[in-house]
Structure 1
Amino acid sequence: MNRWTYKLRRITWQQAYVCGLVGSIIIAITSHMCGATRTRGGIMQALGLTSLTFGHMTGIMVVIMWIGVLLLMLSWIVVGGHILRHGRSLTTKMTTAWIAPLFFAGPIMSRDLYSYLMQGTLARDGINAYEHGAAANPGPLLFEVSADWRNTTTPYGPLHLWIGDLITSVTGDNITAGLFAYKILSIASVVVMMWAVARLARHFGHRASVAVWLGVVNPLSIIHLIGGMHNENIMMALVLVGLYAGVKMGPWRGLVAGATLIAMAVSIKATAFIALPFLGWIAVARIAGRAPGGLFRETFTRVLTLCATGIAMLGITSAVVSLVTMLSGQTWGWIAEVTGNTKVINPLALPSFIASSITPLWSTFDSDITFNVVVNAVRPFSTILMMLGLIVVWWVFRTDELLALKGATLAYLVTCVFNSVTLPWYYTAALALIGVWTFDRRMIFFTAWFCLAMSMMFDGGGNNRLYSLWWVIGVCLLTFWMTRACLGYAPRRPMEKTDEWILHPQPREIQM
Structure 2
Amino acid sequence: MVRRGVLGYVLVLVGGLVVSVLPASSAVASLPLVADLRSSTGGRMLGLAVVVVGLGLASSAWLRLVRAAGDLGVREDDRTALVHRATAAWTLPLLLAPPLFSRDGWSYAAQGVLTHLGLSPYVWTPSILDGQVVEAVDPMWLATATPYGPLPLVWGSAAAGLTTDPWLLVVAHRLLALVGLALLAWAVPRLSRWSRVDPARASALVLASPLVLAHGVGGVHNDLLMAGLAAVALVVAARHGWLVGALVVGLGVAVKLPAGVAGVGVVLVTLPAAARVSARATRATQVGAVSLLTVVCIGAVSHLGVGWVHALGVPGEVQTPLSVSTQLGRLAHLLTGADLVDAFRTAGSVLLVVVAVTVGLRSRSGDRRTALRATAAVALALVVLSPVVHHWYVLWCLPFLAAVELPARGWQALLHASWLGGLVAPLDSSLRGADAVIAVGVAVVAATALVQAVGHRRAEIRAEVRAGAQARTGDASPTSPISR
TM-score, normalized by length of structure 2?
0.86
Cα distance per residue 1:34-59 (max 9 Å; x no partner): 12433331424257641122212121
Structure 1 residue 204, shift from structure 2 partner? 4.1
Within-5 A mapping of 1:418-437? 418-437=385-404
How many angstroms apart in 2 are the aligned matches of 1:276 and 1:408? 8
Structure 2 equivalent of residue 168 of structure 1: 160
Structure 1 equivalent of residue 168 of structure 2: 177
Structure 1 equivalent of residue 342 of structure 2: 376
How many angstroms apart in 2 are the aligned matches of 1:216 and 1:183? 15
Where in structure 1 are there 5+ consecutive unaligned residues? 1-15, 292-298, 505-512
- Structure 1 residues 487 and 432, CA, compared in 2 at 3 Å: closer, same or farther? farther
Structure 1 equivalent of residue 302 of structure 2: 328
Letter in structure 2 aligned against 1:281: L
- Structure 1 residues 501 and 428, CA, compared in 2 at 3 Å: closer, same or farther? farther
Within-5 A mapping of 1:9-88? 16-45=1-30, 49-55=34-40, 56-85=42-71, 87-88=73-74
Is structure 2 residue 309 aligned with structure 1 residue 318? no
Structure 1 residue 226, shift from structure 2 partner? 0.4
How many angstroms apart in 2 are the aligned matches of 1:380 and 1:318? 24
Structure 2 equivalent of residue 396 of structure 1: 362
SS at match of 2:397: helix
Is structure 2 residue 124 aligned with structure 1 residue 151? no
Structure 2 equivalent of residue 417 of structure 1: 384
- Structure 1 residues 244 and 138, CA, compared in 2 at 3 Å: closer, same or farther? same
Structure 1 residue 442, shift from structure 2 partner? 1.9
How many angstroms apart in 2 are the aligned matches of 1:49 and 1:186? 27
Within-5 A mapping of 1:331-346? 331-346=305-320
How many angstroms apart in 2 are the aligned matches of 1:431 and 1:379? 23
Within-5 A mapping of 1:53-132? 53-55=38-40, 56-85=42-71, 87-88=73-74, 89-90=79-80, 91=82, 92-132=84-124
Structure 1 equivalent of residue 352 of structure 2: 386
Structure 1 equivalent of residue 196 of structure 2: 205
- Structure 1 residues 175 and 308, CA, compared in 2 at 3 Å: closer, same or farther? same
TM-score, normalized by length of structure 1?
0.82
Is structure 2 residue 453 aligned with structure 1 residue 487? no
How many angstroms apart in 1 are the aligned matches of 2:124 and 2:244? 35
Cα distance per residue 1:299-347 (max 9 Å; x no partner): 5xx4564355334323322321121011111122212211211122222
Letter in structure 1 aligned against 2:2: Y
How many angstroms apart in 2 are the aligned matches of 1:257 and 1:329? 24
How many angstroms apart in 2 are the aligned matches of 1:49 and 1:379? 42
Identity %: 21
Of 260, 265, 279, which aligns to 1:278?
Answer: 265
Letter in structure 2 aligned against 1:207: D
Letter in structure 2 aligned against 1:435: A
Cα distance per residue 1:12-38 (max 9 Å; x no partner): xxxx22221110111122211112433
CA contact (8 A) 1:347 1:356 kept: no
Structure 2 equivalent of residue 407 of structure 1: 374
Cα distance per residue 1:264-299 (max 9 Å; x no partner): 111111111111122111000xxx22x3xxxxxxx5
SS at match of 1:148: coil
Letter in structure 2 aligned against 1:269: K
CA contact (8 A) 1:20 1:98 kept: yes
CA contact (8 A) 1:120 1:165 kept: yes
CA contact (8 A) 1:108 1:461 kept: no
- Structure 1 residues 356 and 458, CA, compared in 2 at 3 Å: closer, same or farther? farther
How many angstroms apart in 2 are the aligned matches of 1:341 and 1:445? 31
Structure 1 residue 458, shift from structure 2 partner? 3.3
Letter in structure 2 aligned against 1:143: E
* Aligned-CA RMSD value: 3.1
Letter in structure 1 aligned against 2:3: V
CA contact (8 A) 1:216 1:431 kept: no
How many angstroms apart in 2 are the aligned matches of 1:406 and 1:64? 39
Letter in structure 1 aligned against 2:5: G
Cα distance per residue 1:342-381 (max 9 Å; x no partner): 122222101232245455x53xxx7xx38xx242342222
Structure 1 residue 405, shift from structure 2 partner? 1.0
- Structure 1 residues 501 and 217, CA, compared in 2 at 3 Å: closer, same or farther? farther
How many angstroms apart in 2 are the aligned matches of 1:24 and 1:118? 26
- Structure 1 residues 462 and 226, CA, compared in 2 at 3 Å: closer, same or farther? farther
Tell me how many residue pairs correspond in the alignment.
460
Where in structure 2 are there 5+ consecutive unaligned residues? 433-437, 472-477
- Structure 1 residues 123 and 35, CA, compared in 2 at 3 Å: closer, same or farther? same
Of 190, 194, 199, which aligns to 2:185?
Answer: 194
How many angstroms apart in 2 are the aligned matches of 1:260 and 1:411? 20
**More displaced 10-residue stretch of structure 1: 44-53 or 255-264:** 44-53
How many angstroms apart in 2 are the aligned matches of 1:234 and 1:407? 21
Letter in structure 2 aligned against 1:140: Q
**More displaced 10-residue stretch of structure 1: 69-78 or 130-139:** 130-139
Structure 1 residue 421, shift from structure 2 partner? 0.3
SS at match of 1:106: coil
**More displaced 10-residue stretch of structure 1: 33-42 or 431-440:** 33-42
Structure 1 residue 396, shift from structure 2 partner? 3.4
How many angstroms apart in 2 are the aligned matches of 1:212 and 1:86? 14
Structure 1 residue 449, shift from structure 2 partner? 0.9
Structure 2 equivalent of residue 224 of structure 1: 215
